Each structure stands twice: as structure tokens, then as C-alpha cells.
Amino acid sequence: MERPRASRNPEAAGGAKHSAGWRRLLSVTSEHESPWGAYMEPERLGGVWVCGEQRLGRVADVAFELTCKARSLADRLGSRVTVAILGSHIEDCSNRLIALGADVVLFVDDPRLEHYQSDVFVPVLQQLVKEHEPAILLMGATRVGLDLAPALAASLGTGLSAHCVDLDLNEAGQLVQMVPAYGVQCVATIICPKSNPQMATVKPGAFECVPGEGRKGRALRLTAESAKVRSRVDIVEEGTVREQGSHGFDTAEALVVGGAGVASPEGWGLIGQLADALHGVVGATRPAVDEGWAGLDQMIGHSGSSAAPKLYVGVGVSGDMLHMIGVAKARVIVAINSDPRAPVFQQADYGIVGDYRAILPILVSKLEGLQSTYV
Amino acid sequence: MRELNLIACIKSVPDPRSSFKSEMDPKTGTVRRLADEIGIPRVIGPLDRNALEAALRLKELAGGRVRAMTMDSPAAEEALREALAWGADEAILISDPAFAGADTLATARSLAAAIRKCGPFDMVLCGAWSYHGNTGQVGPQLAAMLDVAHIPFVTHFEFVSDTRVRARSEWEGEYAIAEAGLPLLITVNETINQPRHATLMGIMGARGREILHWDAATLGLPADTVGLAGSPSRVTGIALMSTARKKEVMRGDPEAVVGQLLEKLRQEGVL
């Protein structure tokens, strides 16, 4: 099913000067001991690749989610799954990656890969792509992925789609990449018909991690041998701005989101009251953030946070795709909007058409009534 | 500080305060935006406003020159005129029917050719992503093609010497502080600054100023490297997201519908 790679375009020349060699450090666990004598065997891995990165001591979850999806794509293509993790002193997560479907795990482990810098990461991946000619290359739409993927795609002269919410294959075995379409209540499908690898960054949380039984795979630790790899950007310091999930989006059982329809700072107070009554947290859509009712870090959706609460209540939320993909995993979605034609009603389990200023106070008092009955 | 040659890459968008629609062109598989036809004014895109603002502040500090450029249809002249009204020294419209249907790679290739044509530069500033395509890919692709260092998602930057920049990047709760020498490309986040509004003087001054038009021939770009022909990605269609939601809509007396809702939520076991 794999197609020949298209010829490289002139931009590719930039990376060639960094031609890196690989040195095999050690095979990782005896359980998955590699039958390979040396890494540089002539075998071309091809197939579906996932590239993940280790940052601040851990491999981002999205690499595991993508491995699981890559397995299902590779099964349909009859090809292999390779997961490459770049970093320094990378945690050994090979068992988990293999259980999720990786045939080969490559830990590209090098002190120069401790901090993400495109100058260093791009030539390393470029070399791997050149040697192994993957048909498909997936990365998480994380800070690193969103920077690394386009820089790599430009160097390879291949196509790349961003923030995919789903992936599929067409009859020709081409990767169908589904990206949210702005202002449209649907997704655009994108293919990359003439060049490999077909690249996509995928929104974290888009796929589930479902381990399979009795899967076998190989794990290797490599280092980039070339000393020519040198970054023009020096990282002075890095860390977390706030504790992940300090707004509680990761763990909250209830999430109340206010949108443009809230239309006043006073109304925003009702959003908070409802969140309190549900023991939940408050999120916002972009228009609400733009109006200054909520902070940028409270934004839910495409360019903000994702959440998977048991209960989502959208108040004055129109239902824009770029917001709704952030709560696609909510168990129950409730929408309150005065406009009966608001697209949010097509994406909700339960909708109430009406003025939230009339509805929320009743809802809050009934919820508080419920609690006092139980206590 | 020495004078700086600065380039702000912008994308024009229909004024976000207006409502507008997009539709697919079934023949080319590209998203056609209807704003031009229905006369919604074009303005500089949200994060691109921050990029241009950062460039102008830098020029005001160090002296030098700010060029604003965009690749678009001639309707984008409005946004470039806004850039001139803000204080940009030069405005460049990269426009050619052959550029239509460009994906991010072909777009970055055309911008890179235009930047090279401008001669040596110190910094290129872009918004970290645009509101239309929302890919955030053009900045990093442009840096790769220009073969310069780049720092993404910048929320603050300063010069630590005449030729070296220290910048803070932020994304999803993480930050990094990085240093790099010139020439350099940065993509900026919306928190980097508060963009200005054009003054009346600025708007008057920008009237009648020349906006340079560069086409594929001016940039020496062969037809098969630009637009749809030069794009590895193809939009093949629009699919509805499968939302397996119940879509039960209630209306009527608030007291009654809230009661119904709570009963449903209790049955779902989410209260």
C-alpha cells in the first residue's frame, strides 16, 4: 500500500548539512530484547510513525493516544508502527507503547535533545525519515509538535495538517486528516496525495488509549552521533507557568462555560453561581475571553484547554466547532441559549431554549435545594 | 542600538465583529470566503496585530524600518493600508491568481521569496496562528525556508545586546526563556502587547500611499511551486462531525424546563 516518495523540493537542501549518524546505546529491556545486531541494519521501517517528545521529565500523553490510532491505521495498511521519542534520559515507557501497538520504539536519547529546539530536532527527524521513509508521520498538537511539525514538513517539502480531531484512510490508502473548519459546524478533510510522509498534528485527547493483549515489539535507545547539530537558539530556562489543571479542567466533574450570549459582566456572576452549585469549574469561549469576562487560561476549545467532565453546561454558547471540540469527551452536554437556531443544540444532549437570566437562578436554587435534602 | 530591518507578516481577515460565512469550492476543494462579496471590511488578523505592534514598538525604540506584507487577493489592501496608518514604512501585497489555493507550505514559500527580495533583515514577526486557518504553521515553515533561528509563542522579548534577543514563550501552561542572535523569526502570542488603533492623522497619512504589488513573476517563482499546484495538501471535502448526542430540546416555562432538565440529569447519573 505504500507509495513512492515524491522527489524532494529545493527547500530540503537546508537540512542536509546536518547529516547525522546513529549510535546504538543499548537495547532497553530484556523482555523486548532486540534481535537486531546493530541499529544500522538495512531494513527500512516505513509504515506509520508517531513522534513524541519528552519534556520536563515525561512523555506527553498524546504520544500514547497516537500510538493506539497508528496501530489501527497500520493494521488496515498492512504496515508497521514505529514510535520515536526524542529527549534526554527518557523514561522507559516502551512496555506501554508496545502494548498500545508499537512494533518498534526508538528512544532518540541525547543530551542535546533535553530542551526542544527546532534546529536540533528537525535534522534528527529528517535523518530518520530519510532512512526509513514512513508513509505517515503523526505528532501531538502540543507546543513542541506545533513548532516541530511545520519546520520538519517545510524541510521535507511535504504536506501537513494541524490540530486534527480525527484520522482515517481512503480507498487509496491515503491518510484522511480531519481538521476543524472555522465558522463551519463540521470538519474539512485533507489529504496529501503526492508526497510522503503524510504529516498531521493531532489535538491531545482525540484518541483513546486501549492496550491490546500479548503484543510484542522492539525498543532501542539511539543517540545522534553528529557533532554538527548545533542550535541557534539557546534555552535559558523552562518550566510550568501554573500547575497543570489548576483550573481543574482535567479533574472537574462539572464544567460550566459562558459564551458570547452571556453578554454582560453581571451575567458572568450567574455562571460562577451555577458552577458552585454543581461543585464544578468555570470555563469560557473565545468571545467571552475577548470581552474580558474570563482569563485566557479559562478558554476551552481549539486554542485553549480540553476537558472531559461528566456534565458540561454551555450558557450563551453558540456551538462553534472550535469550542465544542474541547468538550467532545463530556459525558452529558447541556446547552442553554435564547436562540433556538443556535448550532449548539445539535451538539447537546439536552437543550433549553430561553433566557439564561431567568433559567440559571431557578437552576441554582433547585440544585442547592437538592443538596440540602441529601445532607 | 543599531537600526533594525523588520518585517511583519500579516493576514487580513474579515472584521471579526461582523458575521461571515465560508463555503467550499467543490472544483478546487479549497475554502472560499464570502467576505469579499458581501462587503465586510478587511482588517489585520488578531495575532498579526500583535506582531505588527511589536515590530512598530521595536522601530520606535531602535529606529529602522517596518515592512508589512501579506499574501492574498487585492481585497487585502485594506488591511495593508491599516498597517500603513499604524506606522509601517512599506506595505507589500503578494498577489497573483496563481497563488490561489495555496496550503501553508506554498504560502510560506511565497512569503520567503518576498522576504528575500526585500534584502537582509533583522527580524521577521508573525502571529503565532491565524483565526481563519488556525494552523500556526506558516511561521515555523517560513523560518525553516529562510534558514533562520526562530522562537515560537513569544509573550515578551527584549534585546540583551545589539544583535541578540531574549524571549519568553508560553504555551498550554509551559514556558521557556530562550536567546538567539539576529536574524531571527518570532511568532507572537496575544498577550505580548496591546495593539494600537490608527490615529486620524495616521489614517489620513496612509491614504494614497503606494502599496507594492508583487506577483509570481516578480518573485521569480515557477507556477508549479505556488498556489494549488505547489501545495502538497488537498482539501477533499467537508464532513459532519458525528455527534451522537441526544439533541432533546426543551422550551417553555423556566420553572418547568429546569425541573425536566434536573430529572434527565438525575437519570443520567451526573448530578
Q: Is B175 in Cβ contact with A238 (below 8 Å)?
A: yes
pLDDT of residue A204: 84
Give the residue from chain A lying closest to B19, CA to CA: A183
Nearest neighbour of A153 by CB, restricted to B141, B250, B265: B141
Q: Is the pLDDT of residue B60 over 90?
A: yes
pLDDT of B131: 66
- The pLDDT-based confidence of B249 (bands split at 50, 70, 90) is very high
- What mean pLDDT value characterizes chain B? 89
* Rg (alpha carbons) of chain A, rounded to whole number: 23
- Write down the pLDDT at residue B26: 53
Indicate which of A61, A136, A146, A337 best probes the interface with B, i.e. most B CBs within 10 Å of its own CB: A146
> What is the pLDDT at residue A138?
98
- pLDDT at position A34: 38
Instruction: Tell me what pLDDT residue B84 has.
Output: 97
pLDDT band at B25 (very low <50, low <70, confident <90, very high): low
> Is the pLDDT at B248 greater than 70, yes or no?
yes
Q: Which residues of B touch A305 (CB under 8 A)?
A: 172
Prediction pTM value: 0.78
Residue A49 contacts residue A101 (beta carbons within 8 Å): no
Are A362 and B255 in contact (CB < 8 Å)? Answer: yes
Nearest to B261 among A232, A334, A370 (CB): A334
Residue A369 C-alpha cell reads as 435545594
CA–CA distance from B24 to each of B31, B113, B230 (Å)? 5, 29, 20
All residues of chain A having their beta carbon less than 8 Å from the beta carbon of residue B21 are: 183
Does A58 lie at the interface with B, CB-CB under 8 angstroms? no
Across the interface, which of A118, A181, A191 has its CB nearest the CB of B22?
A181
Note the pLDDT tens digit of each residue in A13-48: 333 333 344 444 333 332 333 333 334 444 788 999
At residue B149, the pLDDT reads: 94
Interval B70-77 mean pLDDT: 94
State the 10-residue block means of pLDDT for chain A, 375 residues long: 42 37 38 37 81 84 95 96 92 93 91 86 90 95 91 96 92 93 70 96 87 90 66 88 63 91 89 93 91 87 82 93 83 94 91 95 91 56
Residue-wise pLDDT for B138-182, tens only, equals 999 999 999 999 999 999 999 999 999 999 998 877 889 999 999
ipTM of predicted assembly, 2 dp: 0.83
Chain-wide mean pLDDT for chain A? 82
pLDDT for A244 equals 47
In chain B, which residues have their Cβ closer than 8 Å to the Cβ of A359? Answer: 254, 257-258
Q: For the residues B30-43, what does the mean pLDDT come to?
A: 63
- Give residue A373's pLDDT: 56
Beta bridge partners of residue A86, listed in sequence order: A53, A108
Nearest to A350 among B135, B235, B250 (CB): B250
Distance in angstroms (rounded) separating the CA atoms of residues B247 and A155:
46
Considering CB atoms only, which of A178, A236, A353 is closest to B177?
A236
The whole-angstrom separation of Cα A132 and Cα A280 is 48
SS (H, E, C) chain B: CCCEEEEEECCEEECCCCCCCEEEECCCCEEEECHHHHCCCEEECHHHHHHHHHHHHHHHHHCEEEEEEEECCHHHHHHHHHHHHHCCCEEEEECCHHHCCCCHHHHHHHHHHHHHHCCCCCEEEEECCCCCCCCCCHHHHHHHHHCCEEEEEEEEEEEEECCEEEEEEEECCEEEEEEEECCEEEEECHHHCCCCCCCHHHHHHHCCCCCEEECCCCCCCCHHHCCCCCCCCEEEEEECCCCCCCCEEEECCHHHHHHHHHHHHHHHCCC
Q: What is the pLDDT of residues B79-89, one digit of tens each?
A: 999 999 999 99
Mutation for testing the B interface, residue in A8, A202, A332 having most B CBs under 10 Å: A332
Chain A contact set for B233 (CB, 8 A)? 159-161, 190-192
Name the strand (E) or helix (H) holding A97: helix A94-99
Whether A255 contacts chain B with CB within 8 A: no
In this structure, what C-alpha cell is assigned to residue A285? 469561549
Which residue's entry shows cell 515524491?
A6
Query: Cβ–Cβ of B145/A311 closer than 8 Å?
Result: no
pLDDT value, residue A28: 32
Q: How confident is the model at residue B33 (pLDDT cuts 50, 70, 90)?
A: low
Residue pair B25/B37 in contact (Cβ under 8 Å)? The answer is no
Using a CB-CB cut-off of 8 Å, the residues of chain B touching A118 are 140, 143-144, 150
A16 vs B: CB within 8 A: no
Put simply, the chain B residues between 11 and 50 with a CB less than 8 A from any chain A CB are: 20-22, 24, 31
Q: Do B136 and A155 touch (CB under 8 A)?
A: no
Mutate to test the interface with A, among B28, B163, B174, B267 (most CBs of A within 10 A): B174
| Cβ distance of A162 and B109 shorter than 8 Å | no
Q: How many residues would you count in chain B?
A: 271
**Beta-carbon contacts of residue B223 (< 8 Å; ≥ 6 apart):** B98, B216, B229
DSSP state of A243: -
